[in-house]
Amino acid sequence: MVSIIDARLRLDVGCQFQYQVEVPTPAIFMVRPEENPANHIVAETWSIEPHERYHDYRDIYGNSCRRLTLPAGASVVRYNAQIEVADELDPYEPDAGQCSAQELPDDVLIYTLPSRYVTSDLLGNEAWRLFGGTRPGWARVQAICDYVHDYVRFSYGTSDPFTTAYDVYQNRVGVCRDFAHLAVSFCRAMNIPTRYAFGYMPDIDVIPPPGPMDFCAWFEVYLEGTWFTFDARNNERRRGRAVIARGRDALDVAMVTTYGRAYLQEMTVLADKSA
């Protein structure tokens, strides 16, 4: 008999990017789901048209990256995979407490500091004003998640590569990465180690939002020695979340980085239960 814990969910995930560049342009793609005992890649395919040489490597956070050069003219990069993840909702541990700074492992300390988009230093006073009266640990993080979910309005095209968490707090509008950046900023301002994550998330047991599917962003907090998933945009536990990469913020885990001018003409994203 297969236990609930051992139940697996098989997903089809993938993406496609169509680019137009004037000269050969180096690029890095970060679109492959992480692979570990909890997340297994059953099969995968990459294609680059026209064909170009590439190589794979791991960045400083352990994320899987593919490095190649987009040729002059039109090109298409595709990734598709069938993966297996745990068939269960995001973990829920409401009694998980917050570690004191002196208890944190050395490699976790970086996730307590401000970064390019996570302006926890600028939002520190507001964080303590809003959440200083909450119980440290899970309850405090959930209060932050609830606040950001209600405070920020989701709307495409309302932020750009220069938008920081402080901007989101001022403007009260953004996309999923902006929800995550603001929540991460509040958590770090209160000395809760928090990292940014993004990946594929199918619409399982929920009403699909309008518009085409996109990559999703959320965040993870370190409580009592474990990283837990929170999602300020959706603010609900989900099934089928497939992490691609984690870092300090979206700058560390851009799905595509180009070293030169590249015009993205079209992007599509797939995440669904396998037939």
Residue 4 scores a pLDDT above 80: no
What pLDDT does residue 210 have?
Answer: 86
When the pLDDT of each residue in the chain is averaged and rounded to a whole number, the result is 95
26-46 average pLDDT score? 95
What pLDDT does residue 275 have?
Answer: 85
Quick check: helix, strand or coil at residue 222? strand
What pLDDT does residue 37 have?
Answer: 85
What pLDDT does residue 67 have?
Answer: 97
Sign of CA dihedral 74, 155, 65, 257: positive
From the CB of residue 255, how many other CB atoms can be counted at a distance below 10 Å? Answer: 18
65-70 average pLDDT score? 97
Which single residue is written with the structure tokens 């509040």?
186
Residue 6 scores a pLDDT above 90: no
Can you tell me the distance from the alpha carbon of 180 to that of 183, in angstroms, rounded to the nearest whole number? 5
What pLDDT does residue 35 have?
Answer: 92
What pLDDT does residue 50 have?
Answer: 94
Which element (helix H / strand E) includes 130?
helix 124-131
68 DSSP β-pair partners: 27, 54
Can you tell me the distance from the alpha carbon of 44 to that of 142, in angstroms, rounded to the nearest whole number? 36
259 contacts 26 by C-beta, under 8 angstroms = yes
191-199 average pLDDT score? 98
86 contacts 238 by C-beta, under 8 angstroms = no
Q: Which domains does the chain have, with CATH numbers?
A: 8-87+255-273 (2.60.40.2250), 101-247 (3.10.620.30)
Between strands 54-58 and 40-49, the pairing is unpaired
Residue type, 239: R
161-172 average pLDDT score? 97
**Helix (DSSP H) and strand (DSSP E) numbers for the chain:** 4, 14
Residue 56 scores a pLDDT above 90: yes
Residue 138 scores a pLDDT above 80: yes
Top-confidence residue, 65 or 39:
65
pLDDT in tens, 70-82: 999 999 999 999 9
206-229 average pLDDT score? 95
Residue 38 scores a pLDDT above 90: no
Question: What percentage of the chain reaches a pLDDT higher than 90?
Answer: 93
Q: What is the dihedral of CA 180, 184, 186, 192, to 10 degrees?
A: 150
Comparing C-alpha atoms, which of 59, 101, 92 is closest to residue 191? Answer: 101
Please give the model's pTM, rounded to 2 decimal places: 0.95
Quick check: helix, strand or coil at residue 52? coil
pLDDT in tens, 230-268: 999 999 999 999 999 999 999 999 999 999 999 999 999
Q: Which residues contact 54 (CB under 8 A, 6 or more apart)?
A: 46, 48, 66, 67, 68
pLDDT band at 209 (very low <50, low <70, confident <90, very high): confident
pLDDT band at 1 (very low <50, low <70, confident <90, very high): very low
